[in-house]
A and B are shown apart, each in its own frame.
Chain A
Amino acid sequence: MGKILMKGNEAIGEAAIRAGCLNYFAYPITPQSEVAEYLAKRMPEVGGVFLQGESEVAVGYMLFGAAGAGERVFTTSSSPGISLMSEAISYIAAAQLPVVFVNIIRGGPGLGGILPSQGDYFQATKGGGHGDYRLLVLAPASVQETAEMVMMAFPLAEKYRNPVMILGDGLIGQMMEPVEFPDHLRTAPSDKNAWASNGMATRGSRQRNLVKSLFLDPEALNNQNLLLKSKYDRMRREEVRYETYNLDGDYRVLIVSYGTMSRVCRTAVDNLKAAGVEVGLLRPQTLFPFPLEAVREAAGRPACQAVISIEMSMGQMVEDVERAVCGIRPVHWYGKCGGDVPTPEEVMDVVRGLMAGGR
């Protein structure tokens, strides 16, 4: 099958189906309601489950129940909706269930706006819900990559028995680009009989399975948290993904940027290069685990004088960039989060300003 033009939101729905996920629960919210509209039509065609829940709170637990019963399941939402689901996300992570969440971020806090933003970086990578849990967070920068990450997310969620979040923004959801759904990303669901509460008869077992998150004994709870931590540590070792651009030359400034914003930065890097100014770009594709070592190494190159995190938020990823750079270079931030995405020209001005500052 060749490439077809698709909106990001529709590609998300189709990619999930191609990945073998036939269960979708959601609540409408701009700017990603097209996913629900697409799947309301598509799921019945493929014999799948589509249900519009009464709230994101309820949807979170529909996902819990379905995943707890051993079935592949996913949802899509946007920022305020993810806040409401965050309670369930904590429980889902605690009960070690593989669920895929897609957050097509809009501007916040509060109702904020409906235009693109990256203001949910902290929520996705540092928590959102209560307790010591982590999500594996994938950040696509194109419709094609969104489709691929959605397809990858299911086996990843099953590998770790942990929720995975695709963190996009309103522009990724709304724009149309050519996309194809690679066959090699089609995976069979993993065997969940060891833990799913899918009925003893389903797995021909006399042992019952419990899906739960309550550990009243302090030692048991500490052990449970150590077990979860070991999974997050393994993600840090095995799942770091990033892309570099123009990191071969003697760049004087290193930009770290992800998602839609990174594409704007790429254009700025091209334009600056044409003007004789070398700037490097590192684009994290996983936000948790964050590519700490790659950023540190790129920042440490002799010609590099400064590092800047450019994001559609008021300075969230920059904290991870600072953590990576460990003070060996000055770390700056530039961003906007009203929905007005910075242009390549703005990025170029900011970079030039950094260089003129002699830092």
Chain B
Amino acid sequence: MGKTFSKPRSLTDQPTHYCPGCTHGVIHRLVAETIDELDIMERTVGIAPVGCAVLAYNYFNCDFQEAAHGRAPAMATGIKRVRPDLVVFTYQGDGDLASIGMGEIVHAANRGEKFTVIFVNNAVYGMTGGQMAPTTMPGQRTTTSPRGRNVEEVGMPIKVAELLAALETPAYITRQTVIDPKGIRKAKKAIRKAFEYQLAGRCFSLVEVVSTCPTNWGMTPVEAVAWARETLLPYYQLGEFKVPE
């Protein structure tokens, strides 16, 4: 019987600290497979965010820098500007990228920085323990919106992909999901495309990945997938929002 499963060489052997049912592991794997396929591990520098993925460097087998909250796009800019030959990606969550780091992501995208952003949107702050995120859905209960997100007070959730796609600078901007196998296959393709645009020196690239957080949503993994499908996906529509000409 042939080998049916192997771990990408761009992942370390260390077991992850992520909760059961969390999608970070899947997304890590998709990124690592892409790095393997493109044979770029030795010239890749990843940037870990503040959030659940802060320890991502324990799992990826390439050089890493660890950012302050939201500043990963500025760090990626610094690396890529002084070493354009390196492959640089940031791995950020919704609190990190869409709240405290909104300034950095918008300007990096608008400058057309040639790095890749993996943006994991699970509609909640994970590491700090389930507080409201800029992507938290209307009515969604979190520890800081105990009666549900009140859009009268805090506005509607931010659609990052659409917002960045509105910039005039050419970019590759897409939203995918990893809540089912079909979505995972498409997400993988999108991630690979994003890295390819970077390798070709074409443009800024960002893949938003709609994900689950069973722990902070207070659900089982199965319930979480169902909730994401029923609640998140109608609002956060999948697809390519911008492709460079």
Contacts and interface: CB of A to CB of B under 8 A. Distances in A.
Contacts of A69: 45, 78-79, 82-83, 86
Nearest to A64: B75
A64 B78 contact: yes
Given A64-B75, A198-B83, A211-B64, A58 B43 contact: no
A213 B63 contact: no
A198 B68 contact: no
A197 B65 contact: yes
B66 interface: yes
B211 interface: no
B71 interface: yes
A133 to B, nearest CB: 14
A61 B81 contact: no
A49 B82 contact: yes
Contacts of A101: none
A62 B83 contact: no
Interface in B31-85: 41-45, 47-48, 54-55, 57, 61-68, 71-72, 74-83, 85
A58 B82 contact: no
B89 to A, nearest CB: 13
Given A23-B82, A199-B83, A202-B43, A57 B71 contact: yes
Interface residues on A, range: 35 or more
Contact of A212 (B42, B66, B72, B107): B66
Contact of B78 (A54, A73, A200, A213): A73
Contacts of B65: 64-65, 68, 95, 197, 210-212
Nearest to B66: A212
Nearest to A211: B65
A201 B42 contact: yes
Contacts of B86: 69, 198-199, 202
Interface of B: 41-45, 47-48, 54-55, 57, 61-68, 71-72, 74-83, 85-87, 103-104, 107
Interface of A: 23, 25, 49, 51, 53-55, 57-69, 71, 73, 87-88, 91, 95, 197-202, 208-214
25 contacts: A25-B81, A49-B81, A57-B103, A57-B104, A58-B104, A59-B74, A61-B75, A62-B75, A65-B47, A65-B80, A66-B81, A67-B78, A68-B65, A69-B79, A73-B78, A91-B68, A197-B63, A197-B65, A200-B63, A210-B57, A210-B64, A210-B66, A211-B66, A212-B66, A214-B55
